[in-house]
Amino acid sequence: MNLLLASQSPRRRELLALLGLPFETTVTDVDEEPRAGESPAALVTRLSQAKARAAAAHANAAIVACDTVVALDGEILGKPRDEDEATAMLRRLRGRPHVVYSGIALLETPTGREATMVSETQLAMRAYSDAEIAAYVASGDPLDKAGAYAIQHRDFSPVERVEGCYASVMGLPLCHLVRALRRLGLTPPTDVPRACQEFTGHACSLAEEILAP
């Protein structure tokens, strides 16, 4: 069974490689606009499923698709449209807690079997300055990120506290993916929690709980 990642995100490719399974990537075109009244968890579930199904033309593949959003006081923050919106998002998030939701859909095309999961991570941002925001936005990094930031960005380093899955905030909750793969009878050959923690540099206390039978 071939593993196919329905994303061209460099972050997701790096994370998926930690599973020790060969994979290919493809691009999907899915409208990511939230529906009226749609919750963050429902949105990432729907979009991850839509991305997986959009890639289903590839035969004999286990398709991995993911969608990630930031929620501030229940309001969904997706990818900023431009630098002004990125600046506004970062100012709103500054010094405040918020939640990151990542939905995963795993679709086995020969059988149509599908497994979906949602990861929810609580975060708190540090009180970065307007000058730091301006420098980060000028780098162009925020423009393809939900909430206009990358948790792993070393120069900006916007997050003060993480309660939950660090890899999920990067865009691909690996332990949740391992659970989904197991449902389809696939088991990665590597110690995924260990590989993830070594890669991210973030100690995780949730892996055992997430991966419990």
Token pair of 127 as six digits: 């009180």
How far is Cα 41 from Cα 22, in angstroms, rounded to an integer? 29
Residue 8: half-sphere exposure toward Cβ, Cα within 13 Å: 5
Name which of 39, 67, 37, 62 is nearest 51 in CA terms.
67
Region of 53 (left: φ > 0; alpha: ψ -120 to 50; beta: rest) is: alpha
Token pair of 117 as six digits: 């999961």
Among candidate residues 29, 67, 130, 144, the one labeled active-site is: 67
How far is Cα 57 from Cα 166, in angstroms, rounded to an integer? 32
Answer yes or no: 130 catalytic: no
Residue 144: half-sphere exposure toward Cβ, Cα within 13 Å: 11
**Catalytic machinery residues:** 67
